[in-house]
Amino acid sequence: MKKISSFSKSFFFGNLLEDIVSPYPHFSKDEKENVDLLFESLAKFGKEHINSTQIDREAKIPEKVLTGMKELGLFGLIIPQEYGGFGFSQTAYCKTVENFVQIDNSCAITIGAHQSIGLKALLLFGTPEQKQKYLPKLATGEMIAAFSLTESGAGSDAAGIQTKAEFSEDKKYYILNGSKIWTTNGGIASFFTIFAKTMCADGVERVSAFIVTRDMPGFSTGKEEGKLGIKGSSTTSVTLTNCKVPAENVLNQVGYGFKTAMEVLNSGRLGLSSGCLGVQKKLIQLCVQYAQERKQFGKSISQFGLIQKKIAQMMREAYATESLVYMTTGLVDRGNIDYSLESAICKVFASESLWRTVNEALQICAGNGYMKDYPYEQLLRDCRINMIFEGTNEILRMFIALSGIQGPGERLKEIGRALKDPIKSVGLLSGFAVKKIRKSLAIDRFKSIDPGFKDITSFLEEYIMDFSSRVETALARHGKSIIDKQFALERLSQMAMELYMLTCVIMRATDAIKREGKDKSKAHILISKAIGYRCLDHIRALLKQSDSNDDESIKQIAAYAYAQKGYDLDAV
């Protein structure tokens, strides 16, 4: 089935594809009931058996906890029922992760690394024989999965990996040599999705994906890494020394490893994002309780304006994150939507939103927040990895911008070629001119948004057009060198993020009004409007910075620091 265009990519053309995101998606009734039943069992299990402080202190998930997680079916959430799993949708899976992470981050990471990325390539690209061989064992947790891509010299630059896979003379095996680092679940997994360079039929080396199991000769893992947070999760290196992998263990096709990895990570980022949301909700609950109980100057600190400001900010952050995540999981569940940009936006926004939230939580709880007797310092350590996991936020910002401008860039190249021979290309040129005129006269408008948000959506509609103009200006100004203009790309990606986030928020609030009526939706209206006004301010500032900014001074300051090998401007 051909994929429908991405909603967020349409912004780069100045288009508003409202039908993709309207109405706001929901669980099916049957699936919601199944998820609710699992939540009850999960909460009971967590209360009786999971001690998050102990897991953090001992840097290990107890075997009885892992066994209990297997018995609950947590390792088979997304695996189809025909292979022994629950067959959850992306939405149901993310909702489960959101809840589980509130019990313990390390346990949730173990489940997430197993399903979001570890076995995902098998699920997406595996042959019927591969699925039948491995998925039943992966569903029960008899086999735990891991994803090995990163190397010491190749992090986000997946194409730069050095691990090699050579075809044996008898054409029955690939011989893998190389090493991987920071493999989550590395010490406990027996099923690995591993990426290595292979020589393809056309004589070009390309990355391929392989199923590698722990029992294969030449496979080994290193010691457990000492980490800042999520200490209970297993993180090790992987070493492949003449490791013989059967030829039938290639995932997808030989030479398609980069595409495979990108598809896996696009999906996996949503599990990470829902985990960030779960921790945000937990922090709000803890901070509200603390603020109401803590007395200073004869009254509860919850009555102080600056504490209320922090709580309100945390509420806005969580509402925006939740709106983004479950709009995007709904797109995934439709099955024919390009959601690559949206999943990256979710990951960047959710991880940074959580970081702001945990920082405010520590501030609200003051000295207590800094002490190990309280949960805040562990949560701060645990959540810091999210801005690095599955593509650093800096790399993802570049991905968002460069993926978005690809379409307009191709369009402008067509126009450039047409201008060299305008007589032959009069149709293309006139079509471009008509589009520009139409856009200047009639901006795409939201049709399904509640009228109460008109003051926000009218600006949002105009900013989508302004954004596309900035895209065209950047492409015209920089041409092919745009790929190296990271300051400009960062602004474009941030604007795209804000535009998508605000759309999700307003769509969700509109849905609440339609389902519950305005009286019962007052909180949705209040929070979404507060988010909207702030978001519009951010976009307005970013649009201005496209023309007037301090990019050059930033480069000069950095150049000075590099030249001096650090800071040498002592005041005394």
Q: Is the pLDDT of residue 560 over 60?
A: yes
Least confident of 104-118, 263-277, 431-445: 431-445
Report the 10 Å Cβ neighbour count for 177: 16
Query: Quick one: average pLDDT of 397-417?
Result: 82
Q: What is the pLDDT of residue 425?
A: 45
pLDDT band at 437 (very low <50, low <70, confident <90, very high): very low
| Residue 126 is assigned to a structural domain of this protein | no
Q: What is the pLDDT of residue 286?
A: 98
Q: What is the CATH number of the domain that holds 479?
A: 1.20.140.10
**Active-site residue among 390, 472, 490, 498?**
390
With both helix axes pointing from N to C terminus, report the angle between 305-334 and 486-516 in degrees, rounded to the nearest 10.
Answer: 90
Q: In the chain, what percentage of residues exceed pLDDT 70?
A: 93
| Residue 366 is assigned to a structural domain of this protein | no
Q: Give the helix ranges, DSSP H, for 384-521.
A: 393-420, 426-441, 454-478, 486-516
Name the helix (H) or strand (E) containing 30.
helix 29-49
Q: Which of 241, 259, 277 is where one domain is finished? A: 259
Q: Is the pLDDT of residue 19 over 60?
A: yes
Our answer to whether residue 390 is catalytic in this structure is yes
For all residues of the chain together, what is the average pLDDT?
93
Q: Is the pLDDT of residue 432 over 70?
A: no
The two three-digit tokens of residue 136, written as one number: 């039943």
Q: What is the pLDDT of residue 426?
A: 47
Helix, strand, or coil (residue 162) = coil
| Residue 380 is assigned to a structural domain of this protein | no
Query: Quick one: average pLDDT of 41-52?
Result: 97
Measured distance between the N- and C-terminal CA atoms of the chain, rounded to whole angstroms: 68
Q: Is the pLDDT of residue 434 over 50?
A: no
| Residue 265 is assigned to a structural domain of this protein | no
Name, in order, each residue with C-beta under 8 angstroms of 111's C-beta and a sequence gap of 6 or more.
69, 74, 75, 77, 97, 100
- Give dist(CA 163, CA 541) in Å, integer: 45
pLDDT band at 433 (very low <50, low <70, confident <90, very high): very low
pLDDT band at 273 (very low <50, low <70, confident <90, very high): very high
pTM for this entry: 0.93
| Residue 8 is assigned to a structural domain of this protein | no
Query: Quick one: average pLDDT of 519-532?
Result: 97
Q: Is the pLDDT of residue 427 over 70?
A: no
Query: Quick one: average pLDDT of 123-127?
Result: 97
Higher pLDDT, 213 or 161: 213
Q: What is the pLDDT of residue 155?
A: 67
| Residue 340 is assigned to a structural domain of this protein | no
Q: Is the pLDDT of residue 277 over 90?
A: yes
Q: What is the pLDDT of residue 107?
A: 98
Rounding to the nearest 10 degrees, give the CA dihedral for residues 222, 227, 231, 235. -30
**Identity of the residue numbered 27:** F
The answer to whether 371 and 37 have CB atoms below 8 angstroms apart is: no
Name, in order, each residue with C-beta under 8 angstroms of 11's C-beta and a sequence gap of 6 or more.
404, 464, 467, 468, 496, 499, 500
Q: What is the CATH number of the domain that holds 250?
A: 2.40.110.10
| Residue 2 is assigned to a structural domain of this protein | no
- Give dist(CA 134, CA 294) in Å, integer: 53
Report the 10 Å Cβ neighbour count for 387: 18
Q: What is the DSSP string of 351-415?
A: HHHHHHHHHHHHHHHHHHHHSTTSSHHHHHHHHGGGGTTTS-HHHHHHHHHHHHHHHHHHHHHHH
- Reported as a single tens digit per residue, the pLDDT across 303-319 is 999 999 999 999 999 99
Higher pLDDT, 101 or 157: 101
Place of tokens 């967590």: 46
Number of domains in the chain: 2
Q: Which of 201, 226, 259 is where one domain is finished? A: 259
* Domain that residue 251 falls in: 145-259
| Residue 476 is assigned to a structural domain of this protein | yes
The answer to whether 12 and 408 have CB atoms below 8 angstroms apart is: yes
Q: Which of 259, 286, 315 is where one domain is finished? A: 259
- Reported as a single tens digit per residue, the pLDDT across 216-258 is 999 999 999 999 999 999 999 999 999 999 999 999 999 999 9
